[in-house]
Each structure stands twice: as structure tokens, then as C-alpha cells.
Structure 1
């Protein structure tokens, strides 16, 4: 943890949720580590230093003694709760945690990040309340025991390994018999413990698919990407494309197959197939890596559910409208995206600019950033986001990696992009919409104004 980071984080641990009650199994005793959970949280670099640290349970229960050393070493305040007259201890613990969070909210305004270690859906309403006060909320729990509503409303969610499933991690239902055979081969290759090793395993898996006799005929005709997703889920615990920098699985797959014998093919409006290079379904296009200027993924239709809702909610216009109309529509699109609950969660993690570009083109038909005078889309986006809670940022170690973040959740590995084109525009006269240019009088000395009137479009 950076020693200069502010003390702006409060961590609240629902112990009963982590131990799954008080009939604690030997696997939980052996595998549950509060130290490891806190390390995972701090490693995200989304928190500051811990100012409040509380853990809720019936600490008089001797079955919890295996956690006491962690509490002492981490200086966690144990909050003891009791059930009354046979009442539900779980509800008492939840209520006490919520009360303490609200007390901290009003007595310590410097606490801006709240971490709730639990998978209980009852905390979803608490998250909504914290958001109303402009606070960031991070959830943390077992993936197989987390309420979907709670994980959806959190700004960021950290999945922790369930100690009871330590020897049963490959518990994904596998329906494809070809995948079953490959899974048996992959089990003996060890497990990846960081992103580099994950990519090594992914590359190995893609290579085995392309060389497999069982897959050969299918790949000559094209297979559904969901087949590969099933295989990845079954062989890599807690596989998540967003953890590798991709908003969508299809974007990840395009990159993963780039240097292999396979390619991803797109047939409008929304059909994707994976096949051998050279195989090309009628009317399809081989998708290129998203950083390849020749053929970006955003040049195809990105029909994810978020953009579908955007198209339903925001009235579309044609790109031949006035500059004022287009600018106002751009602001409306950004405002909608920053308010949408799914996009909000994505902006905390970082959204590819291509997704924003696609959203804009779905609403402003025929739009190009060049018609507003910007040399690059990133320059236009930089200008558009200036007075919003969003920003476009560039990775410090990989200049080709761009993301759109909430300004208050910008990771240390990224730096906010400042467009030279934007700075130049600010030092000169602002863009004047065509419709606002005054009519030039006869023999007016201003040649530029005369040209403007001559070429002024006749549409409204």
C-alpha cells in the first residue's frame, strides 16, 4: 500500500457469511484466511489506507477461534452480536453492520470507499444509500454464494475462493464431449496464479483446440464462441475476460486467436463463429485485433444489452444535423451511459473507447468525429468528457491501451489523456454552429463569412 495514500477506506466483514453459519466445516477452518482476503482487496489499488476495520460475529463461539490471530495481526475490531431468545443471528449481524456503516457515513465524511465482505443480497439497499452520498462500494464474497443484485450494484466486486470447493473447482457443467476430453488434458498442466500464466494456459488451450481431431471438422464449418467459453470456464477457475482488460468475451477471443490458426468471423447483424483461418462464411468478415487500425472491432455492430437499452431510451438523429444538435446529443449519450447501472459498473473497471464509439454511432447515424474538427476519436472524447465525472486515460506501460473511467476510480497504472487538439481549440475561438452564423450583408468585407453563407446547408 502506498504510504502516501489517504485513510479513506472502511472495511466491514460479515463473518457469518464467510463461514456459512456456525456449523463450520474443517475445509473452512483450514482454507479461510482474513489476511488473504484483505491482501486481495488492497491489491486492486481501488482503495486507500484502512481507517475503519470491523468484523461481525458471535465471537464468544469457540468455533471462530481459528480467525482470532488474523483479527489481532490486522487490528480488526471484533463486533460481537447475539441472537435474542432464539432469534436469527444472521439478521442481527446484518442489521448491526448496516447501522455501523451509516454511522461512519455521517461521522467520517473522509471515508469515501466502503468494502463489504459478504454475498448477502440484503446489502444491495445499503449500497444504493451509499451511492446517494457519492461513496464507492466494493463487494467481496464467494462467487457461488453471492446474490446477483448485490454484486451488480457494487462499483467493483472481488471474488474469493471458496475453501469448501478447493478440490472441486472445475464444477462447470460441460455438455460438449470434445471439451470433456480436452479438460482431462488441461487438468495436469497446473493452475495459473497471475495474468501471464493465465495467458500461457489460454494459448495452450487454443492451440489444443486447433490441433484436435475432434474439433477439426467443426472448425472447418465454424463453431459458436460459447463452446470455447465453456471450456475456459471449466479449466481456469473464476475466468473473467474483464480481468484481462476486455469488456466482452468476443473481444477477448479476437485477441486470443490472433497468433493461432483460428479466427473469429462476424456475420451481420450479430452472428459470430470461430473457425480456421481461410474459412469464411458467406457474408462474414474476419475480425481483427481491436488495436489494429485496419479493422477495429468497433467497426462491426457491438450489440450488447447496454447499447440496446441506450438505443431504446435515447432518440436517434442523423449526423447531417447542426453542430449544436450533434453536440447536445453527444452529451445526452454520455449522461445516459454514466447513469446506467451496468455502464457505471463497467466504467469503474474501465470501458474500451470503441464501446463508446459504437454507442454514439448507434444513436447519431453516420457520425464521424472528424466532422467536429477532431483528428482522433480520443481527442473528441477528451473534450466531451471534460466537465463530466468520466475521463479517457492511457496505460502508462502500454500506450495502445485506452480506457474510459470514472475520474475517482482511475487506477495508478493509467494516466488521464490531455488532448493537444483540445488545448488548441480552447485558446482560439469556439466552434460556431452553421445555424448561428449571421447572414453576411452585400459586399461584406469578411470573406470567411461570405463563404460560410454560400455553403451553408439548407436543411434545418
Structure 2
């Protein structure tokens, strides 16, 4: 039987992220964040807080990622905004009203969110933090169940295998997505990689994914082809009769 799927709520203190990017040579790419988070479960809430008049260039990519943008006007006297208060109130409201959400992701490095993290954990929630190295307080990162530095996203060496370049381009794409997904689930320490879990994660990474678009009648056919090509090992669960991905073959490396 497949293990229960985690459900995630993501709260983004965008101004703190922008502070971390102030001296960076690259622009913020939220798709890199989502690529990692969907390996952890189903993201059902995505909210970002900022004075968006200052960050208009990021609004398009955030809208494309279906993120709700909450406008936090700057206070005329102090020059600060109340994003941390709004974010904390909304997170706790969701904590109490939506029991099915088991994981909260706080995208910020601000130590002011440490009490929020403690409160969420006290209510039985798992808390993941994500932020820039230069703008993250150790008080926050050490208090989270897990903390991810943005700079590490997408830096993992891609899984390669002998012969993968000989596969037609249209199928090479789906194999690369499959490899990336399996590697991510292994990184998340999933005990059993059920075929349904692998497919669901692939669809979260690429919502338009369908094995039929690559010439496979079923997802099992795709897995069987990957095994036949010598990229992955499979076994059949004796109870359900469904495939379980054992892992990569020795010739496939990351």
C-alpha cells in the first residue's frame, strides 16, 4: 500500500528573499523552489507577501506558478511593512482550520519567524524553511525540521546513464524527468518508491505530463522500458501486484 501523501502550505516572505538576491548575479526563480517542494508532497497553498510595487518584475512568474500575491503596503513612517505579522496570522489560521495540511514551508530567513515555527511544531506540523544563505538567521534555520538554502536548488548532478543519449529526443525528455523524480524521492528518504508515487510526483513537476504523449499505453509500460534499457530496477509488490522502483542500476549514476 502506498504511503500517505504529505500536503504542503507555502508562505513566502518575498522581501526577505529579495534582500538575499540584492547582491546576487542571478534572478530569483520560483520554479526551482517548486521543483524541490513537489518531491515532498502535494502543494495546495502558495502565498507570497510583499509591497509588490517594488517587485513588479517578479509578479508574472509568481502568477504563472499560481501563487496568491498579498499586497503589504509600506508604512510611510517607519519604511517597514507588516508582512511578518500577516504571514504568521495566516499560517496559524490555516494550521487551526485545515487539519489535513501537515507541512508548512516558510520561505524566509528572518529570525522573526522562529516563534511561528515553534508554534506550528507544537501543533504537530512539520516545518520546512527555505532561504538565501546570506540573509538567513541561524535562529530560524536551526528551529525548522528542515532548512533548504536556495543556492543548493538545482545544483544536484543530473542522473546520467550509458546509452541515454542514444534514445530519441522525444523519449529522452521523459526519461530525464523520470530519473530526476526518482532521485528526488530517494533524496527524501522514501522507504518504498511505489509506481503511483513516482507518477504523481512527475505530474506535480510537469502537470501536463502523460506517458501516452511519449508512446506508452500505461505508466507501467514506461517503467518497463526504462528497466529494459538498463536504467532502473523494478520489483512487483506481492500484495498489490504493482511495480515498485528499487532504484537505479549500477550503470546509472548521479
TM-score range, shorter chain: 0.5 to 0.7
Quick one: which of 108, 111, 117 aligns to 1:121?
111
Using the TM superposition, give the Cα deviation of residue 158 of structure 1 relative to its aligned residue in structure 2, in angstroms.
Answer: 1.0
Matches within 5 A, 1:283-362: none
Task: Look up the match of 1:72.
Answer: 63
Using the TM superposition, give the Cα deviation of residue 108 of structure 1 relative to its aligned residue in structure 2, in angstroms.
Answer: 1.1
Q: Tell me, which stretches of 5 or more residues in structure 2 are unaligned?
A: 161-183, 191-232, 234-243, 247-254
Quick one: which of 124, 128, 131 aligns to 1:141?
131
Q: CA RMSD in A?
A: 3.6
Which structure's CA Rg is the greater one?
A: 1
Task: Look up the match of 1:55.
Answer: 48
Q: Tell me, which stretches of 5 or more residues in structure 1 are unaligned?
A: 163-191, 198-242, 246-347, 351-396, 398-411, 415-460
**Deviation digits for residues 401-458 of structure 1, max 9, x if unmatched?**
xxxxxxxxxxx989xxxxxxxxxxxxxxxxxxxxxxxxxxxxxxxxxxxxxxxxxxxx
Q: Secondary structure at the match of 1:66?
A: helix
Larger RCO of the pair (alpha carbons < 8 Å, separation 6+):
2
**Deviation digits for residues 228-279 of structure 1, max 9, x if unmatched?**
xxxxxxxxxxxxxxx9x9xxxxxxxxxxxxxxxxxxxxxxxxxxxxxxxxxx
Using the TM superposition, give the Cα deviation of residue 196 of structure 1 relative to its aligned residue in structure 2, in angstroms.
Answer: 6.6
Question: Is 1:194 matched up with 2:157?
Answer: yes
Tell me, yes or no, if the aligned pair for 2:102 and 2:125 is still in contact at 8 Å: yes
CA distance in 2, matches of 1:100, 1:116: 12
CA distance in 1, matches of 2:75, 2:11: 22
Task: Look up the match of 1:251.
Answer: none
Task: Look up the match of 2:35.
Answer: 39
CA distance in 1, matches of 2:159, 2:31: 24
Tell me, yes or no, if the aligned pair for 1:5 and 1:49 is still in contact at 8 Å: no
Task: Look up the match of 2:151.
Answer: 161
Using the TM superposition, give the Cα deviation of residue 65 of structure 1 relative to its aligned residue in structure 2, in angstroms.
Answer: 2.0
Question: Is 1:86 matched up with 2:77?
Answer: yes
Change (3 A) 1:52 1:158: same
Tell me, yes or no, if the aligned pair for 1:34 and 1:67 is still in contact at 8 Å: no
Using the TM superposition, give the Cα deviation of residue 123 of structure 1 relative to its aligned residue in structure 2, in angstroms.
Answer: 1.1
User: 4+ runs of 1 displaced by more than 3 Å?
Assistant: 4-7, 24-28
**Deviation digits for residues 152-195 of structure 1, max 9, x if unmatched?**
11111111129xxxxxxxxxxxxxxxxxxxxxxxxxxxxx7417
CA distance in 1, matches of 2:79, 2:70: 17
Between Structure 1 and Structure 2, which shows a larger proportion of helix residues? 1
TM-score, normalised by the number of residues in structure 2: 0.57
Q: Secondary structure at the match of 1:153?
A: coil
CA distance in 2, matches of 1:148, 1:55: 22
CA distance in 2, matches of 1:88, 1:97: 18
CA distance in 2, matches of 1:413, 1:150: 36
Tell me, yes or no, if the aligned pair for 2:16 and 2:135 is still in contact at 8 Å: no
Using the TM superposition, give the Cα deviation of residue 34 of structure 1 relative to its aligned residue in structure 2, in angstroms.
Answer: 1.3
Using the TM superposition, give the Cα deviation of residue 38 of structure 1 relative to its aligned residue in structure 2, in angstroms.
Answer: 1.8
